A = this chain, B = another copy of it.
């Protein structure tokens, strides 16, 4: 845990934004896999972690604004718990560690919540939370989502989006462990291996460091499938593999890195060409990210680099400013350049993507590609975000656009046909926006062509 005063300060900064009512936080419960008692590895809710730090199931907490009180609700262990789970500190002791004076039994929460007062709570993403809230607030499950507090969402986003030094340190340890995973993967891959063999061994590195993966790994020679969680392909000579994966720090901050790896240790000429364009877009995106610029503009700068590179290869054509403005490049780069990262790999996505990534000045586009950009608004110091351009050749999408004659002025479909077996390339780093510029977080992870090839070849 962070020192007690971190949590006290976070709650204080939240509290001062409210004049009255109750702020309610539900921690997560265990998450059943195939029956109640066979659970996935427990993951505390990130908002609960942020304000209350306690990393265990079956807790709730309130800030009673009117009476200026903070209370943790939970259960003390009995002898039966000790036999099965071992001795544990009391709830009172746990509360003390995070600067909370009052601890009560969880069943008391329902009585405490006087529904005649305003109760602010955050959106939920688990069914059991919905049911619990509907019971606590005496409302229909369908109303639970609807009644989440926009004021609280905005306040929490305002606090969590600017990372403190101690948070950045956590993220850097997550990225460092992620780096180990990525380097191990580069060393491991060879033709004949199945994706799951390498991916499983790589994820084992996170587990063996008392960590866990921060999101389901994308680890595929079919990189053109953007969120491919199938790991059953056998790798062949000449394949390139997209490894988009990350680990969590001790306090559950995320790392999120992508590297594209030549399975046989060397890129082909064509792969190298595409790779270099993506690398250039990655570096351009990183360099452009600093306080004052919107991330939408950074995204478009990276998109222009991609369009220019593809024009040089004869895949795009015409006026590229216009092409990018019209979204023609999105045939090859159909996703956003990046997202906030913190306690969640897509930080605070559970609170609503648009609260996190957009504001009055920057609205989300509805253009294919740009519409998928999770973060569009102006960057500020303390933001941590990913920069992850990619180029993909998605046969189904190419066929559809070609058939529709979409953006024919900008896309040379005849040439594109030749690349339909290419797959995809993505390169992603995690950066911190500093006072004037930005810096890449964590230890360097090879991304230059010759560096990557050297490691893949075991040099």
Contacts and interface: CB of A to CB of B under 8 A. Distances in A.
Interface string A320-356: 0000000000000010000000011110011000000
Nearest to A129: B127
A450 to B, nearest CB: 29
Contacts of A36: 125, 349-350
- Chain A interface category by residue count: 35 or more
A204 B208 contact: yes
A84 B225 contact: yes
B225 A196 contact: no
Given A35-B349, A141-B131, A207 B216 contact: no
Contacts of A208: 196-201, 204
Interface stretch (A37-45, A100-108, A414-422, A429-437): A37-45
Interface string A42-56: 010110000000000
Contacts of A84: 225-227
A16 to B, nearest CB: 27
A232 B204 contact: no
B127 A396 contact: no
A350 B39 CA distance: 12
Contacts of A343: 34
B82 A396 contact: yes
Q: Say what secondary structure dominates the interface of chain A.
A: mixed
A228 interface: yes
Nearest to A252: B34
Nearest to A226: B84
Contacts of A397: 79, 82-83
Given A134-B141, A200-B206, A230-B86, A35 B194 contact: no
Integer count of this chain's copies in the complex: 2
A314 interface: no
A69 B31 CA distance: 34
Interface in A155-209: 194, 196-201, 203-209
A40 B35 contact: no
Contacts of A38: 215-216, 344-346, 349
A238 interface: no
A128 interface: yes
A211 B201 CA distance: 12
Contacts of A210: 194, 196-197, 200, 231-232
A400 interface: yes
A109 B382 CA distance: 48
B37 A349 contact: yes
Contacts of A130: 127, 131
A207 B9 CA distance: 41
A35 B38 CA distance: 21
Nearest to A204: B204
A87 B199 CA distance: 22
Residue with the highest number of chain B CB atoms closer than 10 Å, among A38, A43, A126, A206: A38
A238 B87 CA distance: 22
A352 to B, nearest CB: 10
B227 A125 contact: no
A38 B126 CA distance: 11
Nearest to A197: B208
Contacts of A394: 82-83
9 contacts: A31-B31, A33-B43, A38-B349, A82-B225, A84-B226, A126-B128, A196-B210, A200-B210, A201-B208
Given A83-B396, A196-B207, 13 more contacts: A35-B350, A36-B125, A36-B350, A38-B344, A40-B40, A41-B216, A84-B225, A126-B128, A197-B210, A198-B208, A200-B206, A204-B205, A210-B232
CB-CB nearest 6 A-B residue pairs: A204-B204, A127-B127, A200-B207, A200-B208, A127-B128, A35-B350
